[in-house]
Amino acid sequence: MRVVLLGPPGAGKGSVAQLLRDRLGVLHIASGDLLREAVKANTPLGIEAGRAMARGELVPDALVTAMIRDRVVQAGHGRGFVLDGFPRTAAQAVALDEALAAAQAPVDRAVYFKTSPAMIVKRLAGRRVCAACGQNYHATNRPPRRDGVCDRCGGALAPRADDQPETIARRLAVDEAQTAPVLAHYERRGLLHTMDGDQSVEAVFDQMVAAFRRQGWLQQGTEP
Ligand SMILES: [Zn+2]
């Protein structure tokens, strides 16, 4: 499966991506993490991205898509990848198409998690993230084994600064306006698949895998 996950914050994209990684061995590419790692590791692309950030500029789309392409190529095509957090604009979607076509690993599905505002608010308010490794948890849906402590690395869990209720409504409006052209891009290419994001993460995961298996989009050896 070579798939991009689209939808508002709180739609469950990150959680579903983590399940795809843990259960199917699919490469999980979270664009924010990828960028931070490249800057920290001082790769040539990371150095260039770091310069843009130091100047207070956005990292150019071509740089981010080159990082994604390199990660996909390094990992081999194997079981495919799930991309979470990118593209956020139609221009980024076009840049991503070009980079992945060059790597002969084009996106074969864009999955949109259509989610109601009430469900999003409920989810974001309970969300906790590990300060050390970035693993996501949820107070009720996906609690850690020990309260406030990351299962993977023992790091401290905290709410995200932008998950305060008063900022959520504003983020949703911005996100919706930005996402519409991205959805239109994948719709035009015949790649858009819409799922009900109000369901539990487990239900979305199961339905997604079943749909992908039916359509033959699971790479060989990719079985739960
Ligand atoms: Zn952790």
Q: Point out the catalytic residue in the list 71, 109, 123, 127.
A: 127
Q: Are 50 and 39 in contact (CB under 8 A)?
A: yes
Instruction: Provide the percentage of residues in the chain whose pLDDT is more than 70.
Output: 96
**Amino acid 7: pLDDT:** 93
Residue entry with tokens 């690993």 = 105
pLDDT, mean of residues 205-223: 76
| DSSP string across the chain | -EEEEE--TTSSHHHHHHHHHHHH-PEEEEHHHHHHHHHHTT-HHHHHHHHHHHTTPPPPHHHHHHHHHHHHHHH-STT-EEEES---SHHHHHHHHHHHHHTT----EEEEEE--HHHHHHHHHTEEEETTT--EEETTTB--SBTTB-TTT-PBEE--GGGSHHHHHHHHHHHHHHHHHHHHHHHHTT-EEEEETTS-HHHHHHHHHHHHHHHT-SPTT---
Q: Is the pLDDT of residue 162 over 80?
A: no
Q: Is the pLDDT of residue 19 over 90?
A: yes
**Amino acid 32: pLDDT:** 85
Is 40 marked active-site?
no
Is 127 marked active-site?
yes
How many angstroms is it from 71 CA to the middle of ligand 1?
Answer: 22
Is 36 marked active-site?
no
Q: Point out the catalytic residue in the list 23, 160, 170, 189.
A: 160
**Amino acid 77: pLDDT:** 62
Q: Is the pLDDT of residue 224 over 70?
A: no
Q: Is the pLDDT of residue 220 over 60?
A: no
How many angstroms is it from 24 CA to the middle of ligand 1?
Answer: 21
Q: What is the pLDDT of residues 29-77, one digit of tens each?
A: 988 888 889 999 999 999 999 998 888 888 899 999 999 998 888 877 6
What is the set of domains in the chain, with CATH numbers? 2-215 (3.40.50.300)
**Amino acid 152: pLDDT:** 95
**Amino acid 222: pLDDT:** 54
Q: Point out the catalytic residue in the list 36, 114, 122, 171.
A: 171
**Amino acid 196: pLDDT:** 95
Of 111, 136, 153, residue with least CA distance to 3 = 111
Of 20, 28, 5, 4, residue with least CA distance to 134 = 28
**Amino acid 76: pLDDT:** 74
Is 88 marked active-site?
yes
**Amino acid 46: pLDDT:** 92
Q: Point out the catalytic residue in the list 36, 88, 114, 213.
A: 88
**Amino acid 1: pLDDT:** 84
Task: Provide the mean pLDDT of the chain.
Answer: 88
Of 9, 10, 33, residue with least CA distance to 21 = 33
Q: What is the pLDDT of residues 167-209, one digit of tens each?
A: 888 888 888 898 999 999 999 999 999 999 999 989 999 999 9
Is 188 marked active-site?
no
What pTM value is reported for the model? 0.81
Q: What is the pLDDT of residues 100-153, one digit of tens each?
A: 998 888 999 999 999 998 888 888 888 899 999 989 898 887 899 999 999 999
